[in-house]
Structure 1
Amino acid sequence: MSDKIRIGIVDDHPLLRQGVATTLKKVADFEVVEQGGSADEAREIAERCIPDVLLMDVNMPGDTFAAVRAISKAQPTVKVLMLTVSESEDDAYAALEGGAQGYVLKGVSGPELVQAIRNVAKGETFVTPAFASRLLSHFRKHANEKRSVDLTHREEQIIREVAKGLTNREVALKLDLSEKTVKYYMTNVMQKLHVRNRVEAVTAARRYWDDQDTPPGSAGVS
């Protein structure tokens, strides 16, 4: 059995991908087993080659984050390490929450990339240090925002019913309100939760309930 760390590289820029591969092939205990250029190819490589570490770009054809989630679920031994130019906190959170073990910005030095791969192969998480501090600041800011959510009893009651799958009309009938009133309360809820639509509102509310150990069927949020 080989002691080498087996690596897959998925990036839709062939020259960059080849450059990364050339760098990694010079490392004695690294073996580049396969390369690809799309989210679908990332999933195929993970399933067929089962590399120890799979380097993936964020911006490439296909749904990258769905691929990360699928790989994490179907091939949990494959450690995904994002290698990207994207400094978007949303991209980083989507990747890490989807199961990626690391997030490294392109432009990283060869030795730093090698260290990131070694860390991820051991099951550790690695994020480019300078970017990690920004993520932590972003996380703390949003954590504070979540703690400060203050829904009224009626707002919580309505989002709870919406979370069960009821439409505004069905909520209005159940709570003996007008549909217009329900829409008004839902607008307030979305503003307080900093979301854009009903789906995001339900997701945010459920996260809040989880954080507070408050099940959707129990009494108020405020």
Structure 2
Amino acid sequence: MSVGSATPRDGVVFLHGISRTARSFRKMELAIEHGGYATLNLDYASRRKALEELAEDIHPAIELFAGALGGSVHFVCHSMGGLLARVYLARHRVQNLGRVVMLGTPNGGSEIADRLKNSYPYRTFFGPAGQQLGTHRDAATAALLPQIDYPVGIIAGDRSIYPVTGALLPRPHDGRVSVANTKLDGMTDHVVVHATHPWLMRNDEAIAATIGFLRDGRFPTHSRS
């Protein structure tokens, strides 16, 4: 965590995707810190608990971070981290909430999860949260993800390094999530970059687009495909 005490400034909370760690956001975190933001790059037990439990796990650290800032608290999230942010903000609305950027988040669910969620390897590896990633959500999961009422910018990828799982997705897609299913009713902006799912947060174009949205509330024109 990096929080400056000299002058009030905005902060950014990073939430990685399922089966990833905070390290996956390090390149983007450094770029955003260079832009003058305080940062909180969280690790959480993405494969061990359901989304609602994870939201409670991350709450103390975010509450402490937000309370130490003089400016707004933004969220930058990869993949399932975006769903976790939605659950978290529905339960623990940050008073000084700023903007949210989601990279490759399956807001409309994942067709891969639909196909694999009942298989033993999938259930074992991805755990309870993995069961909440499908396109056909039960009432309980749907209730965790109410309509957004804050600024959200979404970055999708259209390149894949997964020939097998990619075959399960409608094109275009990033190998894990279709571009169509990254979209969200009420989103502020949406952009597609030429990157695959696991590398979205390390892609230079995605990093520049993220910083632009945090700063201006829109993606830079040059980021649009």
Q: Shorter-normalised TM-score: what interval?
A: 0.3 to 0.5
State the TM-score, normalized to the length of structure 1: 0.42
Q: Which has the larger radius of gyration?
A: 1
More helix by proportion, 1 or 2? 1
Q: Whose relative contact order is higher, 1 or 2, with alpha carbons under 8 Å and at least 6 apart?
A: 2
State the TM-score, normalized to the length of structure 2: 0.41
